[in-house]
Amino acid sequence: MKDCIFCKIINKEIPSDIVYEDEKVVAFRDLEPQAPVHLLIVPKTHIASLNDVEPKDLETMGWLLTKVKEIAASQNLANGYRLVCNTGEDALQTVKHIHFHLLGRRLMQWPPG
Ligand code: 5GP
Ligand code: ZN
């Protein structure tokens, strides 16, 4: 989608540090990492948020979830990791292209702030 920063990353119109890519999914390093490993895992299809996931997205979103463990393993996260999908205003979603933060290599806190 035009003017979507993550679509631009997916289309290589702006640079990013991509650590995984296939026909449906891209994972790249967050610009402002909140943990030693902080990736953003995104579908190549533009979906604005979890609130916009429809049955037609089943294959893409299901595929994405099967890739999480592989991407985590590639980052040496055998000790665990956190997957976060900020959705909407209260959750402080700033980029309106659905993305999963993959955070790891430090002890997380619960509850999150
Ligand atoms: P949100 O707050 O929407 O859940 O997360 C958006 C994330 O995207 C933030 O962690 C932010 O640092 C990251 N981000 C925003 N713009 C860019 C960019 O141009 N490149 C990369 N790699 N990350 C970005
Ligand atoms: Zn997009």
Counting beta carbons within 10 angstroms of the beta carbon of residue 41, is it exposed (0 to 12), middle (13 to 18) or buried (19 or more)? buried
pTM: 0.98
Do the domain assignments include residue 113? no
Is the pLDDT at 19 greater than 90, yes or no?
yes
Ligand nearest to the CA of 4: 2
Do the domain assignments include residue 112? no
Residues of the domain holding 99: 5-104
- Please give the tally of structural domains in the chain: 1
**Two tokens, residue 106:** 């430090």
Q: Tell me, yes or no, if 99 is annotated catalytic.
A: yes
Tell me, what's the pLDDT at 113?
Answer: 83
37-63: pLDDT as tens digits: 999 999 999 999 999 999 999 999 999
Provide the CATH number for the domain around residue 40. 3.30.428.10
Q: Which residues are placed with Cβ below 5 angstroms of ligand 2, an ion?
A: 1, 4, 6-7, 46, 97
Report the DSSP beta bridge partners of residue 62: none
